[in-house]
Amino acid sequence: MTNQILSLFQLCDSNFPTGAFSHSYGLESYIQEDKVHDQASFMQWLHVYVNEQLIYSDGLASRLVYEALEKEDLDKVWKLDRMLTMQNLPRETREGTQRIGDRMLNLVESLYDIPALSVYRERIKAKKSFGHPAIVFTIVGHHLGVPKSTTTLYYLYSTVSSLVQNAVRAIPLGQTAGQKSIQEFQGALTKATEKIQQLEEEDFGIVSPGLELSQMKHERVNIRIFMS
C-alpha cells in the first residue's frame, strides 16, 4: 500500500505539469482589490475557498466517483463529469479546469494503463464528456487501491499546494511563507476530508457567491498573471 500511495502522491507534486500554475480560481481578483495582500489574508481566502467551494464541488465529486467505481458504475462517473462542468459558472474557471483535466489525463495515460481512463479519453474526443482533474485523479487512486478518503485528501492537497505556489508568485509571498501556509493548512485539509465523507449527494454544488463572482470578475482585471 505504501508504494501505491507514493505513486498517487506523484500527482500532487507542484512540478507535475498539469498547467495548474496558470490558474488562480479568482484569487487574482482578490489580490487586485487588495483584499488578499499577505499570508494572513491569503490564509483567510484559502479557508473560504476550500470550505465554501472545493469541498462541495471537486472534493465531494471525488468521493462520489470513487464510490461509483467501486460499483463499476461508469455512467455515474460520466454524470458527475457533466455536473462538475455545468455547475462551474465562471467561463474562465470552467475552461481552465477542463484544460487541467485534459493535461492530467494525457500525463497519467503515459504512466498507467487504466481502462476507465481510456474510455474517458474517447468520450472527451467524442464530446460526450468534458474532462476534469478530480475525476482523473480519483480514477488513478481507485486503480492503485488507495483508500477513498486518502484519495480525496490527496486531491485536496494537490489543489491547495498549487494555489499556495500561485500565491507565492502573485501576492507575492516568500517561499518560506508558502511552506508555512501549507503546513498550517494540513489540519484544515484533514477536517475537510472528514466532512466530505459525511455529505449527501444533494449537497453537491453548494458554492459561495462571492467566490463565483470573483472568478467571473477575473475576465476584467487590469493586469493578469493567471488565465483564471
Tell me: the pLDDT tens digits for 114-155? Answer: 999 999 999 999 999 999 999 999 999 999 999 999 999 999
**Residue ranges of the domains in the chain?**
2-220
Alpha-helical runs (H) found in 18-87:
27-32, 39-49, 60-70, 74-86
pLDDT-derived band at 62 (thresholds 50, 70, 90) equals: very high
Residue 206's nearest CA partner among 82, 52, 63 is 52
pLDDT-derived band at 78 (thresholds 50, 70, 90) equals: very high
Report the pLDDT value the prediction gives residue 168, as an integer from 0 to 100: 94
pLDDT-derived band at 216 (thresholds 50, 70, 90) equals: very high
Q: What is the pLDDT of residues 177-196, one digit of tens each?
A: 999 999 999 999 999 999 99
| Helix-helix angle 133-144:115-125, to 10 degrees | 160
- Does the structure show a pLDDT above 70 at 1? no
Report the pLDDT value the prediction gives residue 14, as an integer from 0 to 100: 66
Section 15-34 average pLDDT: 86
Residue whose entry in the numeric block shows the C-alpha cell 465529486:
61
| Whole-angstrom distance, CA of residue 141 vs CA of residue 108 | 11
pTM of the model: 0.95
Handedness of CA 218, 224, 226, 227 (dihedral sign): positive
Residue type (1 letter), 175: Q
Residue 31's nearest CA partner among 19, 18, 21, 44 is 44
| 2-220 placed in CATH 1.10.4190.10 | yes
Is the model more confident about 95 or about 9?
95
Q: What percent of the chain has pLDDT over 70?
A: 99
